[in-house]
Structure 1
Amino acid sequence: MGDKSKLANVYLFVVFLVLYAPILYLMYYSFNSGGTMHGFEGFTLEWYMEVFQDTRLIIIVINTLVIALLSAAIATIIGIMGALAIERMQRRRVKNTLLSLNNVLIVNPDVIIGASFLILFTIVGIKLGFVSVLLSHIAFSIPITVLMILPRLQEMSPTLVDAALDLGASRRDVLTKVILPFIKPGIFSGFFMALTYSLDDFAVTFFVTGSGYSTLSVEIYSRARQGVALSINALSTLIFLFTVLLVIGYYFINRRYNQVSMHKADRMKESAADLGVPQ
């Protein structure tokens, strides 16, 4: 067991090294005053200042954040409705078919999705730009939110809904006061996953952006094609740090919610014990 444990630790170390070494290399040279990635000549914040002084880049960052937040929020709302609809399906064959179609959209290559949206928007007459990017991001984020919400929904006991209905709760009260609070961790997970996918997406966005509209992924690709510039390193470092903050924020929100849930469960057990209900 000891040898297997050491081998597993070595394997994990190698995996994380391969994943994070290029990012750390990029971050390291974002502070290089030499202007190249071949030799570190001295520490400087010049490239970060260049990023913050680039008005066009700031607008693109705002565009990216607006698209990510809007698409994640809308996709999460639609994902909740989709997960509820799938869970309430009585026919197992229909339910499995819907789940399979949902999963196919997740594993489908982004190039095919992007090309399909480009053809669709061209036929319908939607101008490429903010609307086309937003619609496409909502579309590929919905299957992700459904996949994150559905397992939590399946964990909920049907007796909770039956008990609420027996106590006189309306369908709306059951949804807002029983179901949604129970699946809240899945909702947060779906939202943050959709937000991350939207910020990270390049292939689909590349197909559906117009000439006057761009996002960070497309902009970084365009600038990288012109040659290595350390301002790209600085911008990529800032994006990476922002993503880390999102992950940390999600961790603390989830941890706080679990603590509150455990506290409520303990109080319910104490109340039941006071009433003489067997545990």
Structure 2
Amino acid sequence: MRGKNKWSNIYLVLVFAVLYAPIFYLMFYSFNSGGSMRDFESFTLDYYKEVFADTRLLIIVLNTFVIALLSAAISTILGVIGAIAIHHVRSNRPKQTLLTLNNVLIVSPDVIIGASFLILFTMIGIKLGFVSVLLSHIAFSVPIVVIMVLPKLQEMSTTLIDAARDLGASSWQVLARVVLPFIKPGIFAGFFMALTYSLDDFAVTFFVTGNGFSTLSVEIYSRARQGVSLSINALSTLIFLFTIILVVGYYFINQRNVKSPVKEGRG
């Protein structure tokens, strides 16, 4: 058993090394004063200063975070409503059909989703820009939230709801004081997943952005096509660190949510 565990640990280390090596390579050369990704000359923060001095880039960063936060918040609300609705479907066949339709949106290629939204917005006359990007991000984030919330709903015992109703709670009170607190970890997980998907998305956003509006992923792609610039490395490093902060923040929130019921039970 020890031998198997040893080889499995080595395998995991190799997998993570392959996954993270390009990222650390990019981060390392973001501090290179030589201006290339071959020979490291000396340490510098000039490229980070260049990023923060670029007014247009800062506006794009603001656009990206506004889109991500709005789409994550709206999709979380819609996703929770959708998950509760699916959970309350009694018949097995309609429930499986709804779950399949939800999952198809998750596994569908981003290129197809982006092209479909482009055609839809063109047909109904929505101008490509902030609104089109926001609507498309909400659309592909809602199924993610549904997938995160449904398992928590399935874990919840029906006796909790029955007890609340026996005590005279209305449907709204049951939802607000029993259901939502119980599925709160799933709601947080769905929100953070929607937020990170929105921040990272390129394919769908590329199709639905218009002139005068852009997000970080599209901007990095445009700059990378113009040639190697270590300001791209600096910008990518900042985005990666922000994503790490989000993941760590979600971890601590989730740990606190797990410990809270334990403390309440002991009390």
TM range (shorter): over 0.9
What is the Cα deviation at residue 3 of structure 1? 2.0
CA distance in 2, matches of 1:106, 1:266: 40
* Greater mean deviation of Cα atoms: 252-261 or 178-187: 252-261
Paired letter, 2:197 = Y
What is the Cα deviation at residue 236 of structure 1? 0.3
- Is the counterpart of residue 57 in structure 1 residue 33 in structure 2? no
Secondary structure of 1:211's aligned partner: coil
Tell me what 1:133 maps to. Answer: 133
CA distance in 2, matches of 1:256, 1:63: 31
Secondary structure of 2:128's aligned partner: coil
Q: Deviations over 1:21-78 (max 9, x none)?
A: 0000000000000000010000000000000000000000000000000000000000
What is the Cα deviation at residue 260 of structure 1? 1.3
Tell me what 1:196 maps to. Answer: 196
Paired letter, 1:184 = K
CA distance in 2, matches of 1:147, 1:109: 18
CA distance in 1, matches of 2:150, 2:256: 22
What is the Cα deviation at residue 5 of structure 1? 1.1
TM-score, normalization: structure 1? 0.95
1:226-237 alignment to 2 at 5 Å? 226-237=226-237
What is the Cα deviation at residue 144 of structure 1? 0.1
1:124-273 alignment to 2 at 5 Å? 124-267=124-267
Instruction: Please say which structure displays the higher CA radius of gyration.
Output: 1
Paired letter, 2:102 = N
Tell me what 1:83 maps to. Answer: 83
Paired letter, 1:101 = L
Q: Deviations over 1:167-223 (max 9, x none)?
A: 000110000000000000000000000000000000000000001100000000000
- Is the counterpart of residue 29 in structure 1 residue 29 in structure 2? yes
What is the Cα deviation at residue 256 of structure 1? 1.2
Structure 1 stretches of at least 4 aligned residues deviating more than 2 Å after TM superposition: none
What is the Cα deviation at residue 2 of structure 1? 2.0
Paired letter, 2:174 = V
What is the Cα deviation at residue 257 of structure 1? 1.5
Tell me what 1:271 maps to. Answer: none
Percent of matched pairs sharing the same residue: 73
CA distance in 2, matches of 1:253, 1:85: 26
Tell me what 1:9 maps to. Answer: 9
Tell me what 2:40 maps to. Answer: 40
Q: Deviations over 1:116-158 (max 9, x none)?
A: 0000000000000000000000000000000000000100001
Secondary structure of 1:248's aligned partner: helix
Paired letter, 1:175 = L
CA distance in 2, matches of 1:262, 1:7: 36
Tell me what 2:67 maps to. Answer: 67
Paired letter, 1:169 = A
CA distance in 2, matches of 1:195, 1:265: 32
CA distance in 1, matches of 2:125, 2:5: 58
What is the CA RMSD across the aligned residues, in angstroms? 0.5
TM-score, normalization: structure 2? 0.99
Secondary structure of 1:213's aligned partner: coil
What is the Cα deviation at residue 265 of structure 1? 1.5
Secondary structure of 1:72's aligned partner: helix
Q: Deviations over 1:69-121 (max 9, x none)?
A: 00000000000100000000011000001001111110000000000000000
CA distance in 1, matches of 2:238, 2:151: 33
* Greater mean deviation of Cα atoms: 2-11 or 223-232: 2-11
* Greater mean deviation of Cα atoms: 96-105 or 256-265: 256-265
Paired letter, 1:211 = N
What is the Cα deviation at residue 259 of structure 1? 1.5
